[in-house]
Amino acid sequence: MKAADLLEHITAIPTFKKFGKISRVVGLMIESNGPQSSIGDVCKIHVNSSQLGHQEILAEVVGFKDDTVVLMPFTSLRDISIGCLVEGTGKPLEVKVGPELIGKILDSMGRPMDGSLLPGGLSTVQTEGEPPNPLTRPPIEEPLEVGVKAIDGMLTVGKGQRVGIFAGSGVGKSTLLGMIARNTTADLNVIALVGERGREVREFIERDLGPEGLKRSIIVAATSDQPALMRIKGAFTATAIAEYFREKGLNVMLMMDSVTRIAMAQREVGLATGEPPAQKGYTPSVFAILPKLLERTGTNEKGSITAFYTVLVDGDDMNEPIADTVRGILDGHIVLDRNLANKGQYPAINVLKSVSRLMNHIASKEHIAAATRLRELYYTYSKNEDLINIGAYKKGSSQEVDEAIHYEPLITNYLKQGFMDPVSKEESINELINLAKGGAND
């Protein structure tokens, strides 16, 4: 360590510590008389466990009540009692980041989940960050290959674009994320698994992501059994890691599954701190935290973060509050349709309900024309599908419908893709253009 760095490190060490004492524990909340802190600061609660001895439990300042500090712990409330000392750090949550983390699975605190020690030489970053200045964001002009035909061909995504994947449970969100992580041309994947069942974390890593995908990924996992604050911090930690690599000039792929569970965790925190429920039980802080989190991704003057956020919609209702809010913030949405999944079409992307808001700016005119042509054919068939299925439509009644009937199986076959069958963007676009030309010349 250089002398200047060593001096800076020594100077940063506090000359005194601030302490308080726990006075009350109610539900998920801890009230403490001191220490002097700000919202978002991390505090250490000193407890004595009969089994583990002295421990330090981390908690975050989430509010104030009269003259007391309201804390929420990152772990369980076990062993916390009245009179425990609370030490203020004066800083928000920080994690260690660096290229040495690639291939590792971390928890919300940035610690390896396999129990190993963090490698040396890592940098320290705060999980709370600010979005890039709107005036310093370069426009998105370059497409990014994700290796999924339906996306590269019909819903082209650019470097730095933010896209939502909307679906009910069991329609293939995690599988689609795994395909994108393995096949994308981004420099690095950062994957946040928030609120997942414990069983699904390892299954995603071994089955959906695979060894090849893990070699170029950093995973942050916060399972559903963990406290609400840990689930929220999982999303912020993953975003901070992605931001670090963006500052290094990389094109980062951030995948977050799912935003809905982050919102549910924030609702738990909000209700516990006394917020009134608003839309469908979600507290106002939920709708404040979503843009704060989602706007941190995208481009800046050094690199880009292309983000895919999954949204779990209740009862396949695409207009429920969280889905509606997220859709309004992001630069496009991909809708996974349960009816298509039931018919065996995977990935079950409904291209008629999906849109990439930047495709017209980053794709060639020939590509856009071909995608528009196939979308029109597919829409015509969908609009008349009921009449066709019951035999009420007679061939020859409409040239447009006849053409749509002829090309529907070809379009459906184009949209299908095997889970382990990567397709390059060039192949996807060429196949799309050839299919559209055939439809136009038939």
CATH label of the domain that carries residue 255? 3.40.50.12240
Q: In this predicted structure, what is the pLDDT of residue 441? A: 41
pLDDT of residue 53: 73
Burial 408-431 (b: 16+ CB within 10 A, else e): beebeebbbbeeeebbebeebbee
Pairing of strands 68-73, 162-167: unpaired
Among residues 294, 266, 279, the alpha carbon closest in space to that of 62 is found at: 266
Has residue 394 been placed in a domain?
yes
- Among 126-135, 197-206, 261-270, 285-294, the range scoring the smallest mean pLDDT is 197-206
Hey, how many other C-beta atoms are within 10 angstroms of the C-beta on 198?
12
Q: Which CATH number does the domain housing residue 60 bear? A: 2.40.10.170
Q: What is the pLDDT of residue 440?
A: 44
Q: Which residues pair with 163 in a beta bridge?
A: 308
> How many structural domains compose the chain?
3
Domain-ending residue, one of 324, 347, 363: 363
> Among 36-45, 108-117, 433-442, where is mean pLDDT lowest?
433-442
pLDDT at 427: 95
Whether 307 and 379 map to the same domain: the answer is no
Same domain? For 88 and 103 the reply is no
Higher pLDDT residue, 318 or 181? 181
- The answer to whether residue 215 sits within a structural domain is yes
Indicate the pLDDT class of residue 442, thresholds 50, 70 and 90: very low
Same domain for 244 and 307 = yes
Q: Please report the pLDDT score of residue 15 as a whole number.
A: 59
Domain co-membership, 310 together with 412: no
In this model, does residue 161 exceed pLDDT 80?
yes
Model confidence at 9: pLDDT above 80: no
pLDDT of residue 357: 95
In this structure, the answer to whether residues 231 and 265 fall within a common structural domain is: yes
Predicted TM-score (pTM) of this structure: 0.91
Q: How confident is the model at residue 396, as a pLDDT?
A: 84
Give 256-272 as a DSSP string. EE-HHHHHHHHHHHHHH
CA distance 89 to 72: 15
Instruction: Read off the DSSP letter of residue 393.
Output: P
pLDDT digits (tens, 9 = 90+) for 294-304: 999 999 999 99
pLDDT at 79 over 90: no
pLDDT value of position 411: 94
Q: Which of 347, 334, 367 is nearest to 422 (CA)?
A: 347
Please give the pLDDT value at position 6: 64
Q: What is the mean pLDDT of residues 244-261?
A: 95
* Cα 209 to Cα 14: distance, rounded to the nearest angstrom: 43
Q: Of 59, 92, 125, which residue is a domain's last?
A: 92
Domain membership of residue 74 as a residue range: 17-92
Q: Are residues 69 and 120 in the same domain?
A: no
| CA 264/CA 349 separation, integer angstroms | 25
Backbone φ and ψ for 159, nearest 5 degrees, come out as -65, 115
Question: Looking at the chain, how many residues does it have?
Answer: 442
Residue 217 lies in a domain: yes
Q: What is the CATH number of the domain that holds 370?
A: 1.20.1270.330
